[in-house]
Amino acid sequence: MISSWATVTDEELMQISSKNPDLQFERNADGTLVIMPPTGGISGNREAKAVAYLLAWVESNDLGEVFSPSCGFRLANTAVRSPDAAFVAKGRLPENWDEQEDFFLNLAPDFVIEIRSKTDSLETLQAKMREYIENGVRLAWLFDRQNQQAWVYRADQSITQYPATAVLSGEDVVPGFSLAVKSLL
pLDDT over 60 (residue 57): yes
Burial profile 31-63: b = 16 or more Cβ within 10 angstroms, e = fewer = eebbbbbebeeebeebbebbbebbbebbeeeeb
pLDDT over 50 (residue 4): no
Note the pLDDT of residue 2.
39
Full-prediction pTM beyond 0.75? yes
Parent domain of 87:
39-184
How would residue 153 be classed by pLDDT, with cut points 50, 70 and 90? very high
Alpha-carbon distance of 114 to 86, in angstroms, equals 9
Question: For position 150, which CATH number holds?
Answer: 3.90.1570.10
Mean pLDDT of 97-112: 85
Residue 67 within a domain: yes
pLDDT over 60 (residue 178): yes
pLDDT over 90 (residue 97): no
Residue 70 within a domain: yes
The domain tally of the chain equals 1
Contact criterion met (CB below 8 Å) for 106 and 91? no
Residue 118 within a domain: yes
Residue 156 within a domain: yes
Note the pLDDT of residue 41.
83
The amino acid present at 58, given as its one-letter code, is: V
pLDDT over 60 (residue 44): yes
Residue 163 within a domain: yes
How would residue 37 be classed by pLDDT, with cut points 50, 70 and 90? low
